[in-house]
Structure 1
Amino acid sequence: MAESGSKIEEDDEVPGRVKEHLCQPCLSKDKQTVADKFCSTCNEFQCNDCSNVHNVLAILKNHKLVGVKEADVASISFETKALDLCDEHQRSLEFFCEDEKKLCCSKCAIVNHRKCHSVVEIEKIAEKITSPISTLGEKLKEAKEAAESVARQICSSKDQLAQDIKEIQVKIRQMRDEVMNMFVDLEDSVNKRAEIMQKETLRYLTKKQTQNEKHLADVTKCLETIENIFKNGTPVQKYIAERKMESKVNALCRNIKEECQRLENVNISFQFDDTIKLPPLPVNEYVPGQLQFKFHHQGEVNSVNMMMKLTPVSAIILKKSENDTDLPLYTGIDFLPDGRLVAVDNTNKKCLVYNDKLEKEGSYQLSYIPLSVVVVSEEEIAITQGVGYNIEFLHVSKCNEITPRRTYKVNTIYYCICLKDDRHFVVGTCGKPRPVRIVSLTGEESDFGVNFPNKSYPVDTSDSTYIKSSDKVVITDKVEHTVYIYDIKTDTRVVVKDDQIQEPCGVAVGPSDTILVCSSKTKTVVQISQRGQILSSYKIDMDYLYKLCVSRDKSFFVVTSNCVENSKMQKFKIST
């Protein structure tokens, strides 16, 4: 109980002075009255008037009242910080209402809980129940430790943030120095190459100049001879000279005319590429630009136009055949080196071969649900499976016969597959935190050294491909309407979001190593540069564009649809 009722504290004791206490119920009414009694049950000093209530109310008759002088001050000296007082009446808490689960003072018990069935004295409950203070203390200690841990973590985060910013600044300065050094090396390298070209060109021009000077001397000599003969010679001499020198003059004129026709302007220039590859690549392995040395008669040399043009070649409607159980759905397509097309039918468990006119030439019944297909060599393909973690290799003969070769066990389902190099695939995963992985042609699995976001893609929500020339992985996100271009060498990515890209599905590498994406919702094939720039967009007369593939020479591509009715497959010729 709080000692707010003490008029004179122990520290203030003076010899001969009597210690007085004030009535606490009176204090709650802003009235100061000297206490005459102490109720050990109420744990209060009370005056005679206030203590008389114990004789009136039966519920208070068992309380122990003693005189102030007889009170054990030591037993009431503990500072409870008013925890034992009623918040409403500032009286000692004496009862617990089990009906409403509330602590209450004597006034609360009379006024607010008279209709409750079980109002019990706290003293009786406390005698029966083991004190929970130790449990609360343990909880508070744990909470304190947790709060201190949070405080330490926050301080650590602040320190780490400051350290990260310093490291970024250091990294930028290092990159700046490396870039400056790279350009110094670049300048030296280009100057050396330019000097070599200049020497070679000067030899060439000097040779042409020597020939021209010889022709000029011959013409001058012949002209002097003819003018002298025609001025001083006889008619006979003139005739002889004309006949004799005619062939020589004609030859000289012809040579000089040819020289005039071959006359060239010579210049040398240096043009930076759109993308400059920075260190750690040394400049002698990659110069971020192209040194151009050209002879031209007139006008300027135009840069290569990366934008492509499409010309429809053929189209077919994918219909259900006699032995099919459902309408076909081609979840994987790829070109064989000779121009034929292989496709896998997911719904009917088939592998099919088409000629260059999209005429069906061969079919093979599979024992599993195929997901994707990739051409490995001239007569070999690989198929990923939807049930069972396998990659199966099949042989496709020139006569369009398909036969199984071997099967490798893998650790997950791979929804899409493409070639990385002669010995490895790049595969897209289903429901795994790493969206793409590497699988060797012998079934060994590994990961790219890239910090991919911890995101998994369910079946039919993403596709991927690989750009061999620049070591980049491209991933489509159908739900987020986004295309991601990951640079494996630098562990960076380009995020492509555009109104022309809606529900992107299939993706493939197109001409000039640009990226072709099926935008299902907009019914377009979108061409994207490796820097993420939208180069072109082509409307395709198909609903729900789904998968596409590009021929080895980048001159054709085929696109399929995922439509319940009127599913199609179309072939286009690519030109730039």
Structure 2
Amino acid sequence: MAEKESGNMKNNSSGDAVPGRTEQILCQPCSNKEKQTVAGVFCSTCDEFQCTECSNVHTTHAFLRNHKLVNAKEVKTKQVAFDMKGLDQCDQHHKVLEFFCEDENQLCCSTCAIVDHRKCHSVVEIQKIAERSASASSKLKVKLQEVREKAEKIVKNTKSSKEKLNQDVKELSLKIRRMRDDVMKLFDDLEVSVAKDAESFKTETVNKLTKKQSDSEKHIADATKFLETIDNIHQNVTPSQKFILEQRMKKQVDELSSNVDKECQRLETVTISFDFDNTMKLPLLPISDYVPGQLTLKYSVPEAAKPIKTVEPIVKLTNITSIDLKQTGDDVKEPLYSGLDFLLDGRVVTVDNKNKKCLIYNEKLEKVGSYQLSFIPQSVIAVSEEEVAITSGSKYTIAFLRVSKSNEITLNRTCKVKTQYDSICMKDERHFVVGTIDDTRPFRIVSLSGEEKDFSINFPNKKYPINTSAYTYIRNSDKVVLTDRYEHTVYIYDITSNTKVVVNDDQIKEPRSVAVGPSDCILICNNQAHTIVQISQAGRFLSSYKLDMIGPYRICVSKNKSLIAVSSNMNGGRKLQLLKVT
């Protein structure tokens, strides 16, 4: 609150206010001279109460004439001086800010007004414009209050989010423990049920075995008794008696022998065991790789604040170089590159289906490495910086080859699988997504060590023979793309929601290979139209690029999405082409 200065504003009495008395304000310049003169005016510029004599200087000196004087009685109090802390000083000239340029919305000192704003049309004194813009501070105050309220809302939201996050993290362990307890209860119940059935079977079987044992022990006793009798016959009876006894015993021994033979023929070993089905067997790898659940990390944005869906960028391609694939050297047939991929350093790795080879090309499409395979290769994928994996169309194997920086290729290992695979791509650092051959499960998951498992997707009951379909996996959205060559169709399977998008477009003719392009768009070798087609993950046709080749067959995209390699399958005119994404 504004207060009166006790040293300059005094009553005519030093005691408490007396009714009927009028408060008198003293002239401040006179007070400085130790004179007590009643002030008549207040100068807001000088920030002083002045008597009539002292205020006459405003009319004497021209530079004071613009000061505004008001009756002292109209000014009850004088504001306490506010420390501007240099804010009222010009940053450039270090002078008091006296003017405001309305053209450029800028505060000015006298030098600024003369030097920098002399061509401006509206440079006014701050004192005058301040009187006109009295509402500016109230608007500023309202805006600051809004800012503070929004910031408080943000703080409240972040606190709530942190509390919810902490609670969710705690709940993870509790949820898993509850699931573990439920599973353990199921196993406890299973143990009781199986033990009960096993015990019942054991009791019944033991009774049968006990009876069989008792009968056999009686047979032993009978046989022993007959043997003793035969020994006595030889020592104590006449030949006639011996003959009679032997004839009598023969019938009994035959019956005893028959009974024992029957029991021997029915000898059995009784065992009991319990085996889990394949779906319940524990995996070799950590359970985190197989657990029937998923950790979801999600940022939720209020509906009103969600960004507008961006438009899918159109991929534009420029031809860099192209080579003809002709039969040379030790080639048995014209080369057919049925698999392509980029290594991390930009080299292209290919597999020649007709000549059983793995080959390396540099960025100029110059052949720099070759390796003779023992099987017919179908597709290839770069697994790491110096390792590739190759599928076979004729064998149940996936071969892993080392490709060195110096372009030397060696066979590392061969992994046996139970299904024939064609297309192959990386799902993550430890698993492939592979396309099957003549299987109702068109694509499956295979680990780097060869463990195979299925997607939880409702597939149509259709088998794809070799070279009738191709596949790729979009890691960021967990989707698998499948091309159906003779149906001229592309299927986009959403693994998370178990749904699919079916793409039928007049511009898609005999789609062959498929790859993930920039911004996770889908690039397709359009074999019959000799083009590369670009579609979105929602199935929208985006663009088409006419290739300088007939029958584009296989396509791959570099790891940084800046290059594309395409091979063709036209007999007598096969090519390998390198394009740049512009």
TM-score (norm 2): 0.50
The match for 1:127 is none
Summarize the alignment of residues 314-463 of structure 1 with structure 2, pairs less than 5 Å apart.
314-463=321-470
C-alpha deviation, 1:315, in angstroms: 0.5
Cα deviation, 1:152-198, whole Å, max 9, x if unaligned, reads xxxxxxxxxxxxxxxxxxxxxxxxxxxxxxxxxxxxxxxxxxxxxxx
Q: Distance in 2 between matches of 1:247 and 1:505?
A: 72
2:312–2:536: 8 Å Cα contact kept in structure 1?
A: no
Q: Residue 427 of structure 1 aligns to which amino acid in structure 2?
A: V
Q: Distance in 2 between matches of 1:302 and 1:390?
A: 43
Q: Residue 516 of structure 1 aligns to which amino acid in structure 2?
A: L
1:384–1:391: 8 Å Cα contact kept in structure 2?
A: yes
Q: Residue 528 of structure 1 aligns to which amino acid in structure 2?
A: I
Q: Residue 434 of structure 2 aligns to which amino acid in structure 1?
A: V
Q: Residue 487 of structure 1 aligns to which amino acid in structure 2?
A: D
**Structure 2: tracts of 5 or more residues without a match:** 1-83, 100-108, 119-146, 151-293
2:514–2:525: 8 Å Cα contact kept in structure 1?
A: yes
1:219–1:252: 8 Å Cα contact kept in structure 2?
A: no
SS at match of 1:512: helix
C-alpha deviation, 1:285, in angstroms: 3.7
SS at match of 1:332: strand
- CA RMSD in angstroms comes to 3.5
In 2 relative to 1, CA 224–489 (structure 1 residues): closer, same or farther, beyond 3 Å? closer
1:384–1:415: 8 Å Cα contact kept in structure 2?
A: yes
Cα deviation, 1:523-575, whole Å, max 9, x if unaligned, reads 11110100000011111121111000000011110111011111011111112
Cα deviation, 1:322-378, whole Å, max 9, x if unaligned, reads 100000000000000000000000000000000011110000001110000000000
The match for 1:43 is none
1:486 pairs, out of 489, 493, 496, with: 493
Summarize the alignment of residues 270-349 of structure 1 with structure 2, pairs less than 5 Å apart.
284-285=298-299, 287=301, 291=305, 306-349=313-356
C-alpha deviation, 1:223, in angstroms: 6.1
Q: Distance in 1 between matches of 2:562 and 2:458?
A: 34
Q: Distance in 1 between matches of 2:357 and 2:316?
A: 33
Q: Residue 461 of structure 1 aligns to which amino acid in structure 2?
A: T
Q: Distance in 2 between matches of 1:289 and 1:501?
A: 37
Residue 548 (1) aligns with residue 558 (2): no
Q: Distance in 1 between matches of 2:554 and 2:85?
A: 62
The match for 2:543 is 536
The match for 1:472 is 479
Summarize the alignment of residues 20-419 of structure 1 with structure 2, pairs less than 5 Å apart.
214=88, 222=96, 284-285=298-299, 287=301, 291=305, 306-419=313-426
SS at match of 1:420: strand
In 2 relative to 1, CA 502–513 (structure 1 residues): closer, same or farther, beyond 3 Å? same
2:522 pairs, out of 480, 504, 515, with: 515
Q: Distance in 2 between matches of 1:386 and 1:453?
A: 23
C-alpha deviation, 1:282, in angstroms: 7.7
C-alpha deviation, 1:287, in angstroms: 4.4
Cα deviation, 1:253-289, whole Å, max 9, x if unaligned, reads 9xxxxxxxxxxxxx99xxxxxxxxxxx9989445498
In 2 relative to 1, CA 324–455 (structure 1 residues): closer, same or farther, beyond 3 Å? same
Cα deviation, 1:2-47, whole Å, max 9, x if unaligned, reads xxxxxxxxxxxxxxxxxxxxxxxxxxxxxxxxxxxxxxxxxxxxxx
Q: Residue 566 of structure 1 aligns to which amino acid in structure 2?
A: G
In 2 relative to 1, CA 310–221 (structure 1 residues): closer, same or farther, beyond 3 Å? same
Question: How many equivalent residue pairs?
Answer: 318
In 2 relative to 1, CA 452–290 (structure 1 residues): closer, same or farther, beyond 3 Å? farther
Q: Residue 506 of structure 1 aligns to which amino acid in structure 2?
A: S
The match for 2:228 is none
Q: Distance in 2 between matches of 1:315 and 1:358?
A: 7
In 2 relative to 1, CA 246–310 (structure 1 residues): closer, same or farther, beyond 3 Å? same
SS at match of 1:327: coil
C-alpha deviation, 1:218, in angstroms: 9.2
C-alpha deviation, 1:386, in angstroms: 1.9
Residue 557 (1) aligns with residue 576 (2): no
SS at match of 2:519: helix
1:215–1:252: 8 Å Cα contact kept in structure 2?
A: no
In 2 relative to 1, CA 387–491 (structure 1 residues): closer, same or farther, beyond 3 Å? same
2:469–2:485: 8 Å Cα contact kept in structure 1?
A: yes
2:514–2:555: 8 Å Cα contact kept in structure 1?
A: yes
In 2 relative to 1, CA 513–217 (structure 1 residues): closer, same or farther, beyond 3 Å? closer
2:552–2:567: 8 Å Cα contact kept in structure 1?
A: yes
Cα deviation, 1:369-408, whole Å, max 9, x if unaligned, reads 0000000000000001122200010000000000010111
Q: Distance in 2 between matches of 1:386 and 1:282?
A: 37
Q: Residue 427 of structure 2 aligns to which amino acid in structure 1?
A: K
Q: Residue 563 of structure 1 aligns to which amino acid in structure 2?
A: M
C-alpha deviation, 1:517, in angstroms: 0.5
1:347–1:369: 8 Å Cα contact kept in structure 2?
A: yes
The match for 1:272 is none
2:535–2:542: 8 Å Cα contact kept in structure 1?
A: yes
C-alpha deviation, 1:222, in angstroms: 3.7
In 2 relative to 1, CA 290–440 (structure 1 residues): closer, same or farther, beyond 3 Å? farther
Q: Distance in 2 between matches of 1:523 and 1:451?
A: 33
In 2 relative to 1, CA 338–290 (structure 1 residues): closer, same or farther, beyond 3 Å? farther
Q: Residue 451 of structure 2 aligns to which amino acid in structure 1?
A: E
In 2 relative to 1, CA 249–426 (structure 1 residues): closer, same or farther, beyond 3 Å? farther
In 2 relative to 1, CA 223–484 (structure 1 residues): closer, same or farther, beyond 3 Å? closer
TM-score (norm 1): 0.51
Cα deviation, 1:208-235, whole Å, max 9, x if unaligned, reads xx9997567998964659xxxxxxxxxx
Q: Distance in 2 between matches of 1:215 and 1:248?
A: 14
Q: Distance in 2 between matches of 1:290 and 1:548?
A: 41
C-alpha deviation, 1:518, in angstroms: 0.7
Q: Residue 425 of structure 2 aligns to which amino acid in structure 1?
A: C
The match for 2:533 is 526
Q: Distance in 1 between matches of 2:529 and 2:346?
A: 29
In 2 relative to 1, CA 286–348 (structure 1 residues): closer, same or farther, beyond 3 Å? farther
Cα deviation, 1:90-109, whole Å, max 9, x if unaligned, reads xxxxxxxxxxxxxxxxxxxx
1:370–1:385: 8 Å Cα contact kept in structure 2?
A: yes
Query: Identity over the aligned pairs, expressed in percent?
Result: 54
